[in-house]
């Protein structure tokens, strides 16, 4: 017998099963659609689609699949631009685009890479450890579902004010959860972000990125094809955790009037996931599955309806065959449960024995639920009685789509008119040498610019043996092919303050920075994944921010020539009527022919020349410096994507031809932060003189150090390569100026006009901040 004996739970459970037959006979039964998160018009639409009232089980399915989290009903109309604004050139390396579990990009030599970034924000506020842990688990299963071996993770984090008592709760829990889960999977954590801002106090952002690699022939898609093929559920058992996670938790705003939502958070078991990874890879290697889908948000509801609607259109499933952790679960709860570490696959009858052998080898539990049909209907039975009879497309794809009203907020003009320069907070701007040194020290010790090793030392960056670069360098770099050195680079970036000041350009700035980070490491940018964290789409101000950010991002992708291959939208990140800063987190993936060519961010060799690439304008609005002084207003730095592209080409060529030994991009904290970070990376200082920059760009020393003008980087160049390097910049008409030399002896960072800074003292200031607040 194929169903294990433990799967038979019906004898212990007596429900009043709401069958399709019963629903047709009792049209007036009151159903709890509002409690499940559906709106009146949406419930009416379900009734119209079915031609009768839904059964309890059908209502459960529609409520989760039509939730904001699963259906993208508020963002869909805008997200189309990612698919529309794509040239043939951008498509040439895209093997699988938006819509599957994750996009797939061609790396050459028969290799492909898949990556995606997702949010797990609300669960991570309610229960930080499990919320963050299962965020890693979910994104990793998306990567496995594509047929890939996961090879690394990253985690961009945004928490409330560093000194708020609740921030420590979220920080300790989320970091331990990410480490506890990711470390146990054997996936190196190669980077991320850490931003503290009171706007995230009640709505921390815990985003997770995973990347995986595969041979072209191993790409798998989520579809159920071939009448008579068997449908199997394997991995962990289904329990009562995460019920309504997508519909209720992720699609509503928090307020104090409702009971705790703890039961809606899933609980992770990383050991089960690690075994699941190996077991799936063995299934792929033996070509034992026709289609595969991970169970994430909306659990079995999502997996069955998506597999069926993407395949031949029909599936028959017996729900009592699902293995349960809790035998008291109702059919609706089983359909909605978001228990982790589960996968659903479609297997031909000939492969059943081989499939079961793999399960037995890895001691993974499984149960055969039903089979693929050609009826165009998804039929779910309970002890043979039909409790769901739907067209799966109506569940998975034909959910409501809203053209939410949006308008430029009335306050936007006033915010943009309030420049930092000349503001009250700008009074007493540092200018004397001692003041500038103190300002630089204050900057690099500030919550957002300080050393993050308190976090990253809790993550394994070595496991797998293919990590060529990791945090705090500009991008994480992982080798894919051990023989050739072929590999990938990844960086994620967002700036909520910039995006608040100007959503269109703020989103572009996030993309520009991630692109620049990847190019700074020496990799060629190839693809984009985005996690759009915003407030409530029912607020026209927020909806405008979202619309503008998507428009800006898609326009910028066209200019940079790299497509969005997947991502996720997280809405309702607000407390009461106060939304977070709009925070589109953008991940860029790049390619190395040989990761040995990667460029680290720190100085090493004494006497190497340091060059500043790009020009500097007076752009302090939205900067880390203005943030430290408590100001947020004006316009973010100007976006110049052509210049970013030109800078990227210089950095990539310099890496490929061995012209630079280090490179570091200029972003938050400007030149001041970049110089200190390059010095502290390996404890090697420099002597810097910025007079040529001040003369050329017409800025003062403070502005040269703290402005956040985009399209800039610093590089260190061996003497032997200096002429070749400057000739390349000149030939490309790209601004470059020699600003100093690496000084491995002095143990100081000396900047003309700034009191010399001892590296040990800088390091102490840089590293003390997180331990001070978090122990």
Partner 1 sequence: MTELPLIGEAIAVAANPKLAGAKIGVVTFPGTLDDRDAVRAVRLAGATPVALWHADTTLGDVDAVVIPGGFSYGDYLRAGAISRFAPLMAKIIDAANSDARLPVLGICNGFQILTESHLLPGSMIKNDHLKFMCRDQVLRVENNTTAWTGDYAAGQEITVPLKNQDGQYIADEKTLDALEAEGRVVFRYVGFNPNGSRRDIAGIANAAGNVVGLMPHPEHAVEVGFGPESLDGVGGSDTDGLGFFTSVLNKIVGDNK
Residues with catalytic roles: 69, 120
Q: Which of 23, 154, 185, 358 binds partner 1 (CB under 8 A)?
A: 185
Residue spans of beta strands (DSSP E) within 450-606: 467-469, 476-479, 487-493, 524-533, 564-570, 574-575, 578-579, 583-592
Q: Is 438 in the site for partner 1 (CB under 8 A)?
A: no
Q: Is 186 in the site for partner 1 (CB under 8 A)?
A: yes
Q: Is 184 in the site for partner 1 (CB under 8 A)?
A: yes
CB of 186 to partner 1, least distance (A): 3
Q: Is 365 in the site for partner 1 (CB under 8 A)?
A: no
Q: Which of 461, 656, 738, 763 binds partner 1 (CB under 8 A)?
A: 461
Q: Which is nearer to partner 1, 278 or 426 (CB)?
A: 278
Whether the Cβ atoms of residue 723 and residue 610 lie closer than 8 Å to each other = no
**Residues contacting residue 447 through CB under 8 Å, at least 6 positions apart:** 162, 196, 769
State the Cα–Cα distance between residues 637 and 64, nearest whole angstrom. 41
Q: Is 281 in the site for partner 1 (CB under 8 A)?
A: yes
Q: Is 747 in the site for partner 1 (CB under 8 A)?
A: no
Q: Which of 233, 479, 414, 209 is nearest to 341 (CA)?
A: 233
Q: Is 275 in the site for partner 1 (CB under 8 A)?
A: yes
CB of 147 to partner 1, least distance (A): 10
State the Cα–Cα distance between residues 458 and 435, nearest whole angstrom. 35
Whether the Cβ atoms of residue 351 and residue 293 lie closer than 8 Å to each other = no
CB of 237 to partner 1, least distance (A): 15
Q: Which of 350, 385, 403, 482 binds partner 1 (CB under 8 A)?
A: 482
Q: Which is nearer to partner 1, 447 or 602 (CB)?
A: 602
Sign for the pseudo-dihedral over CA of 18, 21, 24, 27 = negative
Q: Which is nearer to partner 1, 281 or 699 (CB)?
A: 281
Whether the Cβ atoms of residue 476 and residue 467 lie closer than 8 Å to each other = yes
Q: Per-residue x/- marks for partner 1, 647-686, CB under 8 A?
A: ----------------------------------xx----
Q: Is 459 in the site for partner 1 (CB under 8 A)?
A: yes
Q: Is 398 in the site for partner 1 (CB under 8 A)?
A: no
Q: Which is nearer to partner 1, 166 or 218 (CB)?
A: 218
Q: Which window, 178-186, 287-295, 443-451, 608-616, contacts partner 1 (CB under 8 A)? A: 178-186
CB of 683 to partner 1, least distance (A): 8
Q: Per-residue x/- marks for partner 1, 155-174, CB under 8 A?
A: --------------------
Determine the 3-state secondary structure of 511 from DSSP: helix
CB of 574 to partner 1, least distance (A): 32
Structure tokens at 309: 């609607």
Q: Is 366 in the site for partner 1 (CB under 8 A)?
A: no
Sign for the pseudo-dihedral over CA of 125, 127, 128, 131 = negative
Q: Which is nearer to partner 1, 581 or 598 (CB)?
A: 598
DSSP string, 30-87: ---TTTTT--HHHHHHHHHHHTSPPPHHHHHHHHHHTSHHHH-TTTHHHHHHHHHS--
CB of 241 to partner 1, least distance (A): 17
Whether the Cβ atoms of residue 609 and residue 711 lie closer than 8 Å to each other = no
How far, in Å, are 198, 365, 382, 610, 655 from residue 661 at the CA level? 38, 51, 65, 10, 8
Q: Which of 3, 252, 282, 722 binds partner 1 (CB under 8 A)?
A: 282
**Residues contacting residue 675 through CB under 8 Å, at least 6 positions apart:** 686, 688, 714, 749, 751
Q: Which is nearer to partner 1, 108 or 405 (CB)?
A: 108
Q: Which of 403, 338, 339, 376 is nearest to 64 (CA)?
A: 338
Q: Which of 301, 330, 381, 456 binds partner 1 (CB under 8 A)?
A: 456
CB of 264 to partner 1, least distance (A): 24
Q: Which of 570, 549, 575, 561 is nearest to 636 (CA)?
A: 549
Q: Which is nearer to partner 1, 199 or 715 (CB)?
A: 715
Please report how the helices 270-285 and 128-145 are oriented relative to each other, as an axis angle in degrees rounded to 10: 0
State the Cα–Cα distance between residues 567 and 466, nearest whole angstrom. 25
Q: Which of 11, 28, 84, 483 binds partner 1 (CB under 8 A)?
A: 483
Q: Which is nearer to partner 1, 269 or 513 (CB)?
A: 269
How far, in Å, are 154, 195, 202, 203, 658 from residue 160 at the CA level? 20, 8, 7, 8, 42
Q: Which is nearer to partner 1, 24 or 267 (CB)?
A: 267
Q: Which residues form the interface with partner 1 (CB under 8 A)?
A: 109-110, 149, 176, 179-180, 183-186, 213-215, 218, 269-272, 274-275, 278, 281-282, 285, 362-363, 456-470, 479, 481-483, 595-596, 600, 602, 604, 681-682
């Amino acid at each position: 017998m194929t169903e294990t004996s433990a799967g038979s739970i019906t004898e212990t459970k007596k429900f009043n099963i709401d069958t399709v037959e019963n629903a047709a006979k009792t049209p007036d039964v009151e159903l709890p659609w509002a409690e499940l998160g559906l709106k009146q018009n949406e419930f009416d639409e379900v009734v119209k689609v079915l031609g009768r009232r839904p059964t309890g089980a059908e209502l459960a399915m529609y409520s989760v699949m039509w939730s904001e989290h699963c259906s993208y009903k508020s963002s869909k109309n805008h997200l189309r631009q990612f698919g529309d604004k794509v040239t043939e050139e951008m498509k040439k390396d895209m093997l699988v685009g938006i819509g599957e579990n994750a996009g797939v990009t061609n790396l050459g030599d028969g290799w492909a890479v898949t990556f995606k970034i997702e949010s797990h924000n609300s669960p991570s506020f309610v229960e930080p450890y499990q919320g963050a842990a299962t965020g890693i688990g979910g994104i990793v299963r998306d990567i496995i579902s594509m047929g890939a071996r996961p090879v690394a993770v990253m985690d961009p984090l945004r928490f409330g004010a560093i000194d708020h008592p609740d921030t420590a709760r979220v920080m300790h829990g989320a970091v331990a959860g990410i480490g506890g889960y990711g470390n146990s999977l054997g996936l190196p954590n190669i980077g991320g972000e850490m931003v503290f801002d009171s706007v995230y106090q009640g709505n921390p952002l815990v985003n997770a990125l995973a990347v995986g690699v595969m041979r072209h022939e191993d790409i798998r898609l989520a579809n159920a094809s071939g009448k008579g093929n068997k449908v199997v559920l394997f991995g962990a058992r289904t329990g009562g955790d995460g019920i309504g996670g997508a519909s209720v938790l992720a699609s509503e705003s928090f307020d104090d009037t409702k009971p705790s939502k703890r039961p809606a958070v899933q609980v992770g078991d990383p050991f089960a996931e690690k075994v699941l990874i190996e077991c799936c890879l063995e299934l792929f290697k033996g070509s034992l599955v026709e289609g595969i889908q991970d169970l994430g948000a909306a659990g079995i509801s999502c997996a069955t309806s998506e597999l069926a609607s993407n395949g031949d259109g029909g599936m028959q499933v017996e729900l009592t065959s699902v293995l349960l952790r809790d035998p008291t679960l109702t059919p609706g709860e089983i359909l909605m449960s978001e228990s982790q570490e589960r996968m659903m696959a479609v297997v031909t009858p000939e492969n059943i024995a081989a499939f079961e052998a793999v399960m037995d080898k890895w001691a993974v539990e499984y149960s055969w639920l039903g089979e693929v049909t050609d009826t165009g209907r998804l039929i779910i039975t309970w002890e043979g009685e039909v409790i769901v009879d739907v067209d799966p497309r109506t569940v998975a794809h034909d959910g409501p789509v809203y053209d939410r009203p949006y308008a430029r907020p009335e306050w936007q003009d006033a915010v943009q008119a309030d420049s930092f320069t000349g503001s009250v907070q700008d009074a007493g701007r540092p200018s004397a040498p001692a003041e500038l040194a103190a300002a630089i020290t204050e900057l690099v010790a500030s919550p957002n610019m300080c050393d993050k090793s308190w976090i990253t030392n809790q993550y394994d960056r070595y496991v797998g043996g293919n990590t060529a670069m990791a945090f705090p360098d500009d991008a994480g770099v992982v080798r894919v092919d051990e023989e050739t050195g072929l590999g990938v680079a990844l960086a994620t970036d967002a700036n909520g303050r910039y995006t608040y000041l100007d959503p269109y350009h703020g989103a572009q700035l996030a993309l520009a920075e991630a692109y620049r980070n990847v190019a700074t490491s020496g990799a060629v940018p190839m693809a984009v994944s985005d996690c759009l964290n915003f407030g409530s789409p029912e607020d026209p101000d927020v909806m405008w921010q979202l619309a503008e950010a998507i428009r800006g991002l898609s326009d910028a992708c066209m200019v940079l020539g790299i497509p969005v291959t997947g991502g996720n939208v997280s809405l309702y990140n607000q407390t009461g009527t106060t939304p977070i800063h709009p925070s589109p987190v953008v991940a860029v993936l790049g390619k190395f022919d040989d990761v040995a060519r990667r460029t680290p961010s720190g100085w090493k060799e004494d006497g190497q020349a340091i060059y500043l690439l790009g020009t500097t304008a007076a752009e302090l609005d939205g900067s880390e410096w203005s943030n430290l002084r408590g100001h947020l207003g004006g316009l973010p730095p100007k976006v110049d994507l052509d210049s970013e592209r030109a800078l990227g080409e210089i950095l990539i060529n310099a890496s490929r031809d061995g012209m630079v030994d280090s490179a570091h991009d200029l972003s938050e904290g400007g030149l001041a932060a970049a110089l200190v970070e390059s010095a502290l990376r390996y404890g090697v200082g420099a002597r810097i003189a910025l007079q040529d920059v001040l003369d050329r760009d017409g800025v003062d020393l403070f502005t040269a150090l703290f402005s956040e003008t985009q399209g800039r980087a610093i590089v260190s160049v061996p003497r032997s390569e200096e002429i070749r390097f400057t000739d390349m910049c000149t030939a490309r008409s790209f601004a470059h100026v020699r600003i100093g030399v690496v000084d491995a002896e002095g143990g100081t960072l000396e900047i003309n006009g700034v009191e010399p800074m001892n590296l040990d003292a800088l390091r102490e200031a840089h590293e003390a901040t997180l331990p001070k607040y978090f122990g």
